[in-house]
A and B are shown apart, each in its own frame.
Chain A
Amino acid sequence: MKLDYRIDGNNFDMAGEASSSVKKTLAQLGVSPPVIKRVAISMYEAEINAFIHGGGGSAHVDIDSSRIEIIIEDAGTGIPDLDLAMQEGWSTANEQVRKMGFGAGMGLPNIKKNADVLEIETAPGQGTKVKIIIDIK
């Protein structure tokens, strides 16, 4: 099953909607709650990152009987130093976003903890593509 979503960079109120939709679909498919939780955390963090840092983008989800693959892409400024970005607590989020409870520097570390595979393609000025795979066991 393939699902595609647009992440609207102009509508913060909708941030997280794609993740909510995928979570509901997985529940309908009978995927176990611990796997759904890992998908929800990983996809939500990537979706919020695409919104905050990428100005929006797209999410593509491919579900089969053995794994869930999530690709979230944005055309934002890219991540200048990926090693730093993977460190818990490091963030470039602005003050306004931090006041809303985002930008704690936990997004990518949270994905890494919950995903079986995490691949990030990024370069300054060339956007970011995050690929997450979570096995269904």
Chain B
Amino acid sequence: MKVKELAQSLGAQLLTSGGDAEVTGVYACDLLSRVMSGCEEGNAWITVQTHLNVLAVAELDEASCIIVPEGITVEAGTAEKAEEQGIAILSSEMTTYELCWKIHQLLA
């Protein structure tokens, strides 16, 4: 499933263009060191962190996208730089738990 298809299925807003990367799984964590070692290539990464540094982590881990839960506002600078770097960011009203559960169902 591609990121843009995932966004549609979740009713999430895709804040960037693109979204053609393939989603292979889901990873949820806000501690960046743990994400660095635990998030695998193609994972949709769910985090409440919205500052610019999350982009380096997503890029290094080759996450398929970042999903920001609970309608948390994504900093404008982060969305702009994500667009430049070709990293997709999704905004969802769901909680992290709901997102994990739903994505697990969608990918099963």
Report the minimal beta-carbon distance from B82 to chain A, rounded to whole angstroms: 13
Of A38-46, A62-70, A125-133, the one with at least 4 CB within 8 A of chain B: A38-46
B contacts with A, residue count (CB < 8 A): 21
Q: Measured between alpha carbons, how far is A100 from B59 in the docked complex, in Å?
A: 17
Report the minimal beta-carbon distance from A73 to chain B, rounded to whole angstroms: 20
Report the minimal beta-carbon distance from A85 to chain B, rounded to whole angstroms: 13
Mask: chain A, 14-26; 1 = CB below 8 Å from B; 0 = not = 0111011001000
Cβ A17 vs Cβ B31 within 8 A: no
**Among candidates A16, A40, A101, A107, residue contacting B49 with C-beta atoms closer than 8 Å:** A101
Q: Is B41 an interface residue (CB 8 A)?
A: yes
Cβ B33 vs Cβ A100 within 8 A: no
Q: Is B5 an interface residue (CB 8 A)?
A: no
CB contact under 8 A between A23 and B60, given known A12-B53, A100-B53, A101-B47: yes
Q: Which residue of B lies closest to A27 (CB)?
A: B62
Residues of A within 8 Å of B41, CB to CB, are 33
Q: Is A31 an interface residue (CB 8 A)?
A: no
Q: Which residue of A lies closest to B36 (CB)?
A: A41
Q: Is B100 an interface residue (CB 8 A)?
A: no
Mask: chain B, 17-43; 1 = CB below 8 Å from A; 0 = not = 000000000000011111111000100
CB contact under 8 A between A102 and B33, given known A13-B52, A15-B53, A16-B53: yes
Residues of B within 8 Å of A107, CB to CB, are 33
Residues of A within 8 Å of B47, CB to CB, are 101
Cβ A113 vs Cβ B37 within 8 A: yes
Cβ B51 vs Cβ A100 within 8 A: yes
Cβ B60 vs Cβ A104 within 8 A: no
Q: Measured between alpha carbons, how far is A19 from B35 in the docked complex, in Å?
A: 15
Q: Which residue of A lies closest to B59 (CB)?
A: A20
Apart from A100-B49, A114-B37, 7 more pairs, CB < 8 Å: A12-B53, A15-B53, A20-B56, A44-B36, A44-B60, A48-B32, A101-B53
**Contact sample, A vs B, 10 pairs, CB 8 Å cutoff:** A12-B52, A16-B53, A16-B56, A17-B56, A40-B60, A41-B60, A44-B36, A44-B57, A100-B49, A104-B31
6 A-B pairs with least C-beta separation:
A16-B56, A106-B33, A101-B32, A40-B60, A104-B31, A13-B52
